[in-house]
Chain A
Amino acid sequence: MDESSKKQQANGKGNKSNPFPAGEEMFKVLFEEVPCYTCILDTDLNIVAANRLCKENFATPFTRHCYQVFKGRPDACEECPAMKTFDEGCISETLETVKHASGQDMQVVCRTAPLRDDSGKVTGVLHMSARTGHAEELQQVMTSLNSQVGAVSHGIKGLLTSMVGGFYLWDSGLAKDRADRVEKGVDIIRRNFHRIKHLAHDVLFFVKHRVMHTEAVKVSYLMNETFLSVEDIAKQMETEVVLGDMPDPEIMVDVDQRAIVSALSNLIVSSLHDCYTDKRDIPHSVHMKVEKQYNEVVFEVSDNGVGMDSESLKKLFSLFFNPKGIEAAGIGLFITNKLARLHKGRVEVESEQGKGTRYKFYLPVTE
């Protein structure tokens, strides 16, 4: 090798016979140009280095935690592959949903590998991820479906446990001649029967491909039908549902009447549950009213129940997200949101933990 080539090689540059960089420069190029999103994390999950593809596809600045950059989360993921690698010192692989810089969700296969110091201690993690192909997407759909079925099963088991409890109170109340206990047991059985009925209805609605039968319907009619559909469960939840003034009977919307009554009743049931589980010693109630705003009709359902924190609000309409524990296994509000959009409407929610929640269900008015 001539002196010029030797110098080039020492500087990490290739030469005429070997165009590729050498030495430390080669590793820098490899890191920067590897065709997947690559970064290095420290033990606090801070990104200490990121390659070009990573910087081009995820939100800056990069001097933040990986969960902030890749997922827009304020805290670490529950099932963090990097933490698993730190804990166990081995390669970990997961399927993840990350947030592209454009705001779109993206499915990636993520692999993490340990980086060790001279003593063998894991002091960093190499984090590499790549967009999934068709096979991985199908696998993810199947995994998601399995967990959704599991979530419904869990919801049903919780309601059945409550019914077991009701029967225990009933039987033991009879045995001990305690009428108050028998009455409590019967109440529990009735309440959970209605909740199971509602859940079954939601699951069927979700799985059935339903053709919308749209027609012009009076808004006042929808309000009345919704009220009637929740009367029983409101009684079991020991919470009053109060109807506001009836709107102008001439206001109409083009909707599938059964679908909209179902959507609105889901909002009321959600509010009823928030009131029922609120431990504050105050009278609880759910209010429903409707008013016309320009070319839209707004059905408003409000309560003074437990309310929700901001994190729960963000995920409220996600399928099977369930901030309320077992109630309806997280299907009802997802269905409500979906039905609103199918009718060219929308749902807005305001909530404050410890104060209550307000839902607004918008529909376009029939011209």
Chain B
Amino acid sequence: MTGPDAQKTILVVDDEPDIVSFLTTLLEDNGYKAVIAENGEEASKAVQAAKPDLVSLDITMPEKSGVKFYRELKENPDTSNIPVIMVTGMPEVFENFISTRKQVPPPEGYINKPLKETKYLEMIKELIG
């Protein structure tokens, strides 16, 4: 985690290279530092290494690795406070999944694909400034 005036770090977790290019460029253009992970396993390592201020997570990555990573992040007391914005093309499926897993809290934000830059940035600013 970084101090109040330091550059905020956002971990972008997505397996699609073009979306990663988009989000990292967008975030860096708006003063954030972007760290990338292309699956849940890499994301777990990146959380430990980079200590991000926020995670932008594609929940529908192959082999449900996004779901597993999310569960691990929220069940670990050292990382459960890191806000998560879920990027998904199927919000109803995820909401249903989360509502049936009572021990896992819902993410701090959802955003549907196709993603609108302004809404994405507003959500991030609201969560971490």
Residues 55-67 of B, flagged 1 when their CB comes within 8 A of A and 0 if not, give 0000011111001
Within 8 Å of chain B (Cβ to Cβ): is A326?
yes
- Name A191's closest neighbour in chain B (CB-CB): B18
Flag if B60 contacts A154 (CB, 8 Å).
Answer: yes
Give me 8 other A-B pairs in contact (C-beta within 8 A), A150-B93, A326-B89 excluded.
A87-B101, A161-B19, A165-B21, A192-B18, A277-B16, A277-B17, A325-B16, A325-B60
Taking A78-B64, A158-B89, A160-B114 as contacts, is the C-beta distance between A325 and B22 under 8 angstroms?
no
Q: For chain A, residues 319 to 361, give those with C-beta under 8 angstroms from any C-beta of chain B.
A: 322-326
Within 8 Å of chain A (Cβ to Cβ): is B100?
yes
Tell me the minimal C-beta distance from B49 to chain A in angstroms.
17
Within 8 Å of chain A (Cβ to Cβ): is B45?
no
Among the stretches A108-116, A166-174, A223-231, A282-290, the one at the interface with B is A166-174
Flag if A165 contacts B102 (CB, 8 Å).
Answer: no
Taken together as a complex, chains A and B put the C-alpha atoms of A79 and B114 apart, in Å, by: 27
Q: Which residues of B contact A160 (CB under 8 A)?
A: 113-114
Within 8 Å of chain B (Cβ to Cβ): is A311?
yes
- Name B67's closest neighbour in chain A (CB-CB): A78
Q: Which residues of A contact B114 (CB under 8 A)?
A: 157, 160-161, 163-164
Taken together as a complex, chains A and B put the C-alpha atoms of A169 and B117 apart, in Å, by: 12
Within 8 Å of chain B (Cβ to Cβ): is A312?
yes
Q: Which residues of A contact B29 (CB under 8 A)?
A: 172
Taken together as a complex, chains A and B put the C-alpha atoms of A87 and B102 apart, in Å, by: 8
Q: Which residues of A contact B113 (CB under 8 A)?
A: 154, 157-158, 160-161
Flag if A164 contacts B115 (CB, 8 Å).
Answer: yes
Taken together as a complex, chains A and B put the C-alpha atoms of A326 and B63 apart, in Å, by: 13
Q: In which size bucket is the chain B interface?
A: 20 to 34
Taking A158-B89, A323-B62, A325-B61 as contacts, is the C-beta distance between A169 and B17 under 8 angstroms?
no
Taken together as a complex, chains A and B put the C-alpha atoms of A158 and B14 apart, in Å, by: 11
Within 8 Å of chain B (Cβ to Cβ): is A184?
yes
Which among B15, B18, B63, B114 has the highest number of chain A CB atoms within 10 Å?
A: B18
Which among B64, B113, B116 has the highest number of chain A CB atoms within 10 Å?
A: B113
Name the one of B62, B67, B117 contacting A324, with C-beta atoms under 8 angstroms.
B62
Taking A161-B113, A161-B115, A165-B23 as contacts, is the C-beta distance between A279 and B38 under 8 angstroms?
yes
Flag if B62 contacts A188 (CB, 8 Å).
Answer: no
Flag if B22 contacts A165 (CB, 8 Å).
Answer: yes
Q: For chain B, residues 77 to 102, give those with C-beta under 8 angstroms from any C-beta of chain A.
A: 89-90, 93, 100-102
Q: In which size bucket is the chain A interface?
A: 35 or more
| B contact set with A: CB distance below 8 Å | 15-19, 21-23, 25-26, 29, 38, 60-64, 67, 89-90, 93, 100-103, 112-117
Flag if B90 contacts A154 (CB, 8 Å).
Answer: yes
Tell me the minimal C-beta distance from A17 to chain B in angstroms.
51
Name the one of A158, A165, A279, A312 contacting B63, with C-beta atoms under 8 angstroms.
A312
Tell me the minimal C-beta distance from B24 to chain A in angstroms.
10
- Name A164's closest neighbour in chain B (CB-CB): B114
Within 8 Å of chain B (Cβ to Cβ): is A105?
no
- Name B21's closest neighbour in chain A (CB-CB): A165
Flag if A168 contacts B17 (CB, 8 Å).
Answer: no
Taken together as a complex, chains A and B put the C-alpha atoms of A150 and B25 apart, in Å, by: 29
Taken together as a complex, chains A and B put the C-alpha atoms of A323 and B23 apart, in Å, by: 22
Flag if B90 contacts A184 (CB, 8 Å).
Answer: no
Within 8 Å of chain B (Cβ to Cβ): is A153?
yes
Taken together as a complex, chains A and B put the C-alpha atoms of A184 and B24 apart, in Å, by: 13
Taken together as a complex, chains A and B put the C-alpha atoms of A326 and B62 apart, in Å, by: 9
Taken together as a complex, chains A and B put the C-alpha atoms of A326 and B16 apart, in Å, by: 8
Flag if B63 contacts A311 (CB, 8 Å).
Answer: yes
Within 8 Å of chain B (Cβ to Cβ): is A276?
yes
Flag if B63 contacts A162 (CB, 8 Å).
Answer: no
Within 8 Å of chain B (Cβ to Cβ): is A181?
yes
Within 8 Å of chain B (Cβ to Cβ): is A232?
no
- Name A87's closest neighbour in chain B (CB-CB): B102
Flag if A162 contacts B16 (CB, 8 Å).
Answer: yes
Tell me the minimal C-beta distance from B127 to chain A in angstroms.
20
Q: Which residues of B contact A13 (CB under 8 A)?
A: none
Taking A322-B62, A324-B62 as contacts, is the C-beta distance between A188 and B21 under 8 angstroms?
yes
Taken together as a complex, chains A and B put the C-alpha atoms of A168 and B89 apart, in Å, by: 19
Taking A169-B25, A322-B62, A323-B62 as contacts, is the C-beta distance between A162 and B19 under 8 angstroms?
yes
- What are 9 of the A-B contact pairs (CB < 8 Å)? A79-B100, A88-B102, A150-B90, A155-B89, A161-B115, A165-B18, A165-B26, A166-B22, A169-B25
